[in-house]
Structures are given as C-alpha cells and as structure tokens.
Amino acid sequence: MNLYRACGMTVACDRALPELAPARAGTPDWVVRTERPQPRRYRWFTHTSLPDGRRWMSIAEHDGDYALRFGNLTTFEIAPRQRLIRSMPARGTAASTVRHLLLDQVLPLVAGSHDRLALHASAVASPRGAIGFLGMAGRGKSTIAALLARAGWPLVCDDCLLVERRGGSLVTVPAYPGVRLLPDIVENLFAPAGRRYPRVAAYSPKRRVSPRQLPFARTAVPVARVYVLGASLRGGRQAVTIADRPRRHAMLDVIKHMLLLDVRSRTHAEQTFSLAGTLVERVSIRTLRCARDLSRLDEIKDRIMADVLAG
C-alpha cells in the first residue's frame, strides 16, 4: 500500500496517486482498494445531472455503507465503519479519470466530520489569513485562486475547502497541491509551459497544473474571509464589484455549497449546520463579481488583493 496526505487525512491506496504528497508511515484514515465491480442492491437516494441533462453522480446506501456511481465511468463503495473505499472502474475507464474522481469527488465527501466543514470552494493563504472563494461551477473559483497563488499567496485548495474547528478558532486545512484550470486560463497564466499539462480526466477539458508552478500552503491557516462569487460582469468599465453579504444570505450560500455524503443524516447535518453558522458569525463574507475577460486578469487580481489587505 502507498501512503499519501490529502484533505487533512492519511490515505492508503493500492494504486499510485502521483498528484498527492507521500505520507510517513502511520495508521491511515482511509484505505482505497481497487476491486472488480460486483452486483449489489443499493437504495439510490441522490442523483445529480450535467448541464445537458445527462445523469452524473448517484449516491446509494445499504446498511451504513454507500455507493457513488459516476455515469458509466466508475463506482466507488464507501464503508465508513471499516474506513474503506472500494474503487471499481468500468472497463476502459482511464486511470487518470479514476484518480480525478477519487481525489476531487470522493475524498471531499468523506473529509467532513462533526468539527470539519467541507465546502465547494477554492482558497489561498493571504497575509491576513485564508481567503475562500465559494460558488457554483464555472464562476471562476479555481481561476481566481490560481491568479492569487501566482502572485505569491499560497494555494490552500482547489474546489474543496475544509474549515476545521480548533479550540476557539476556525482554520482551513490544505487539500492537496495543484489546481485544475480550463485551457484558455492555463495558456494565459502559464504559456508556453501550459501546453504540456495533462487533462484532468478523459471527459474534462480542464488541465491539472503542476504544484511546481504555484506555491502551496502546507499547514492549517486561520480563516479570514470568504467571497461568494456571483454571476460574471458583462460589459461596462468595472472588472470587479465587491459588496458586503447580508448574514442571512451568507448562511444560505454556505449551506448550498456544503459537501455532504448523506444529506439524510440528521446528526451529521446538525453538526455541520452548527459549524456553518459559526463560520458566518465569525468570518467576513462578501459578494464578488468579476468580468469574464482574460485581458483583465491582472486588474481582477489587484482589486481582490487590495480589498483583502484593506481589512
């Protein structure tokens, strides 16, 4: 078994995970094992779809264990009591696709706990603390995080922000090095080296940017601010608009972007909602809208950095 660190956990895997940093010897929080698909009777209770209407991720449960099925690509079975994840790829599914789904879909769903909130967000470590970017897919979370990391603020995570309660403080736990970006963003920020970055998965146009190109936070960072990304600005002179977010709206934003394996678990939901409320009460949450214009990326970066440093 190979040992790695990801999302604040030690993960043992029977396959190599080159995207992750190796871990020292110790007891793993989760074991990932590759197995052949087996017919099992599960009760499917959650389904998500792609923008074109095709079913994407389905979640089922049976006797405390769970199954996550990603289209016709692969299925993962999660056995929480055994701390075991069974990876069962379909014939022909590329290894890079299986790794991407494990790292960026499955592990974030098991990383949350009673004192750790998992959010669909990216984040960087600024001089004032961790700055998170919360929003729907396509709103620019990864792009903004990469912009700020390229300017010297280390990347904390890409798409999975873990907020952990430590004593009386809230801190972010680094996920794993690297960021996933669309080809036009990669070319703009990292050309000509950007052309060499591999695709994240066979079904996705995104490229996985090497951690050698960006600084990465290695330790927990206190949470300083969260920006909720609104719809892109179209036209006009402004590259960025920033405004305070009313607390009631901020709470709904956090709830909407929580990563939960089983939304039906009342105990887990109560614990998670409590931590979400603490985050909204203690941390400045603001609305951020940016122009969708590659020629204004430096202007966007400078405006966000100025807002953060202004306090």
Q: Are 238 and 135 members of one domain?
A: yes
**Tens of pLDDT, residues 133-192:** 999 888 899 999 999 999 999 999 998 999 999 888 999 999 999 899 998 899 888 876
Q: Are 228 and 268 members of one domain?
A: yes
Q: Are 156 and 24 members of one domain?
A: no
Number of domains in the chain: 2
At 121, which CATH number?
3.40.50
Structure tokens, 27? 């007891």
Asked if residue 242 lies in contact with residue 179, where contact means CB atoms within 8 angstroms, the answer is no
Q: Are 9 and 137 members of one domain?
A: no
Distance CA 110, CA 108 (A): 6
Structure tokens, 63? 């006797």
Q: Are 95 and 130 members of one domain?
A: no
Distance CA 131, CA 154 (A): 10
Q: Whole-prediction pTM value?
A: 0.91
- Label each residue of 91-113 as H, E or C: CCCCHHHHHHHHHHHHHHHHHCE
Last residue of a domain, one of 111, 146, 177: 111
Asked if residue 39 lies in contact with residue 62, where contact means CB atoms within 8 angstroms, the answer is no
**Tens of pLDDT, residues 230-246:** 988 887 788 999 999 99
CA distances (Å), origin 29, targets 21, 23, 197, 219, 285: 15, 12, 30, 18, 32
Q: Are 303 and 200 members of one domain?
A: yes
Tokens 């936070």 belong to residue:
217
Q: Are 154 and 254 members of one domain?
A: yes
Domain that holds residue 43: 2-111
The two beta strands, 74-79 and 121-126, are unpaired
